[in-house]
Amino acid sequence: MSETISKLLLKGETLLQDSPDHLLQVIGVLESYGEVLDAYSINLIDQGQRQFLNPFPMFRFCNGQISFNRLYRHLLGDRINFEYAEYCQKAMFWHSTGGLDVYFNSDEFLSICKEVIEYKSQEDTLVKLLNPMFKEFLPELIRSSATTHLLGVFWRVMSDLFVDLGRKYRDGTINNIKEVVAFIRTCLVAAAGKTVSYKVEISGRSFDILPATANLNFLVDVAVPYVEAVFLRGMPFLGTVSFNAQAQQISPDQSQFKYGALYADPLPTMGAGIPPSLLMQDMYRHLPQDLYDWYKYHGRGEADMKMQICISFQKAMFCVTNGAIAGTFPYPLSTTVQEEQTANQAYAKAWAGRLAEARIDTLPNLKGREFNSLRLA
């Protein structure tokens, strides 16, 4: 299977075979995902500002708009489930891959943290008490806030991308899965060189937590770590594996984790982690009518619609991953230089090895392709 995936990537073909049903599912779930990511992005960026250095952010999901009616609806669950956004942020923060983590451990960043904490301590008694007692706690909060902000920025780009993708599908510009993958690739490449930064204001004074001079890049330092942490690694979720060390169901090596969205079983746990059932609930509330109608007559209709959304979501995420891989090959796939071809082959092989263990059963024709290639050989 790994070899088949590698060949498809090197040929520039899609992992998900084109069909009207596949196209409807991918476009529909990405449209609804785009609407949900809009809310996630607004909240995370707001948290990065309003909840900065707040050890107890009880109202972090309210975007500063606190009212009895809002809190009542929040408790009833009549809201976007920001817990999933928080799960993704914690996964990125915990796995800490890419240039962002390197910068977090630099002397420059530690110096910024020290300056910010000292200034904040002048007006915040709690921060002033915590700093000498727990030396690593407040810098850790700043790192977490920076990750929160950057995830919000990333999702801002992806929300606009997915909404625009749906618009192009409905006006007839995009008509097949290959065009979906190409559109995602083009948009990611266009945003690839964008420099990301993070600035906060404390009592009228501005602090560059992640200054532009840190040269943090949208694609390499935010998008790729997001794919690594959320699509691939994830975090073991209570109720799906044993946390008993003697059972050895969880690897002590985080790089070997396979709990991300591409590995998730479509089980209705209604949790934030694997499978991301809370995200499916949010997407259910924003489904376009044509996909909602399609689900009604497939599977068990309303009874398992959220599970069907999860399956469609994985198909869509394979397309997003497909586009990301296509946009990050070391060299153009058309190259005739042997060394460059070898580098591309190694890149495709590395990705194929990881994707082969994911939920490729959501790609119903991939096994068929492998069978046919073996038979023809």
Strand 205-210 with 198-202, pairing: antiparallel
Helix (H/G/I), strand (E/B), else coil: 318? helix
Query: What is the DSSP-derived secondary structure letter of residue 209?
Result: E
199 forms bridges with which residues in the sheet?
A: 208
295 forms bridges with which residues in the sheet?
A: none
pLDDT for the residue numbered 31: 96
How many H helices and E strands in the chain? 16, 2
Work out the pLDDT band at 306, boundaries 50, 70, 90. confident
Tokens representing residue 105 in the block: 């451990």
How far is residue 1's CA from residue 3's CA, in Å, rounded to a whole number?
Answer: 5
Tokens representing residue 34 in the block: 């785009």
pLDDT for the residue numbered 97: 83
Q: How many domains does the chain have?
A: 1
Q: In this structure, are residues 181 and 303 in contact, taking their beta carbons and an 8 Å threshold?
A: no
pLDDT for the residue numbered 362: 84
pLDDT for the residue numbered 102: 92
| DSSP for 139-197, written as a single string | HHHHHHHHHHHHHHHHHHHHHHHHHHHHHHHHTTS--SHHHHHHHHHHHHHHHHT-B--
| pLDDT tens, residue by residue, 96-147 | 888 899 999 999 999 999 999 999 999 899 999 999 999 899 999 999 999 9
Range of the domain at 338: 2-376
**Where does residue 223 fall: left (phi above 0), alpha (psi -120 to 50 degrees), or beta otherwise?**
alpha
**In this structure, what are the phi and psi dihedrals at residue 210, rounded to the nearest 5 degrees?**
-120, 90
Q: In this structure, are residues 360 and 366 in contact, taking their beta carbons and an 8 Å threshold?
A: yes
| pLDDT tens, residue by residue, 19-65 | 999 999 999 999 999 999 999 999 999 999 999 999 999 889 888 88
pTM (2 d.p.) = 0.90
Whether 375 has a pLDDT exceeding 50, the answer reads no
Length of the chain: 377
How far is residue 209's CA from residue 120's CA, in Å, rounded to a whole number?
Answer: 14
| pLDDT tens, residue by residue, 274-291 | 667 888 889 999 999 999
CA trace torsion 161, 167, 173, 175 (10° rounding): 90
